[in-house]
Amino acid sequence: MKVMVGLSGGVDSAVAAYLLKKQGYEVVAGFMRNWDAMANGDYLGNPTVNDDQCPQEKDYQDAQKVAEKLGIPLLRVDFIKEYWDHVFSFFISEYECGRTPNPDILCNKYIKFDAFLDFAKKNGCDMIAMGHYAKRIEKDGLYYLMKCKDTNKDQTYFLSQINEEQIKSCLFPLADIDKPEVRKIAHELGLESVMDKKDSTGVCFIGERNFREFLKNYIPAQKGNIVDIDTGKKVGEHRGVYYYTIGQHKGLGIGGISGETATGWFIVKKDAKKNILYVTRGDAQKYLMSNKCIVRKLNFINKDEEFPQKVGVKFRYRQVDHPATINLINGEIVCEYDYYKAVTPGQEAVFYNKEGLMIGSGTIDEVYRDNIRIDK
């Protein structure tokens, strides 16, 4: 079987390629370039804008060295337009609405497991493979994702919007090993270009940015009032509601009031239409805690999943699964749970059953506390 592994120039995908070859697959590699900083106006907040070599080219060179060391061919493909059309444009539009989207989830759905899968098949491959930390299993004729051995690195949250056919078409060689073992294998193989390379961070395929400055490239700064939600009084001025997140308590720039210090302020609400940022220095919990949310844009592996159902829900990456009950009503999921802090519209709610299978996910659209909507 011929498999194309997404070789990113990092250690995880490099070791994934090696393991596939060791298992007897015919392995080819594909390097994706999805962002062009100059063409996309990525100047503000970009720490590499004046570098002699852009990070993507350095990653490509590292991928070339890995492919040469492993003795596998490397193809290169650009999905810059696809990334802009299907990932980044939506990412910006959500911020303009005052929501907090997750570009990594969209990137997996539309680029790595769609455009790249199509590219692999056009180049004669039967399947693709990725260096993600996730486990693929088959149950009752359907393919699911399950948490991998290294639960600290598990990435099923970011893969929650790929469908069953996409899961079926992909191998995850790192499912049963942890990160230290990956580094160890890379050292044993002498993969010098990646074996000690730090993990990529920041926006998917874009990298680390001063995020507030980065957003200014695409959403003009518009100053507005910071209002104490408890008193209705103006306590400061913000530089644009889009640049702040619910629950944030640093970098608010609120000056002292009546001789007091500015410590203890939390953002509890954003009104993008009126350009107002609401804060409190009192009990932030009463504004941030919720016990129900409405989830839309659903992706469930089994279209005949039974409801209501008790699940573990993950509202953010690397958080502990929270017990919840989900019910499908009029094409949307009503998710009820014990009080939880800062459940945020635009983020993903990912559902796991009692066996640890990721059964589905959707985008958080409305948030309630005791049946009173709190996200508006």
Q: Distance from CA of residue 325 to its chain's centroid?
A: 24
Coil, strand, or helix at residue 154? coil
* Contacts of 117-122 spanning 24+ positions with Cβ under 8 A: 117/166, 117/169, 117/170, 119/4, 119/30, 119/75, 119/77, 120/4, 120/30
Report how far residue 188's alpha carbon sits from residue 27's, in angstroms, rounded to the nearest whole number. Answer: 20
Pick the closest to residue 240 from 258, 265, 261, 219 (CA basis).
219
Pick the closest to residue 22 from 195, 214, 173, 153 (CA basis).
173
Catalytic member of 148, 204, 293, 335: 204
148 is catalytic: no
Is residue 28 exposed (0-12), middle (13-18) or buried (19+ Cβ within 10 Å)? buried
- Contacts of residue 246, defined as CB under 8 A and 6 or more positions apart, other chains included, come to 100, 267, 268, 269, 270, 288, 342, 344
293 is catalytic: no
Catalytic member of 54, 107, 125, 293: 107
* Cβ atoms within 10 Å, residue 148: 22
Residues with active-site annotation? 107, 204
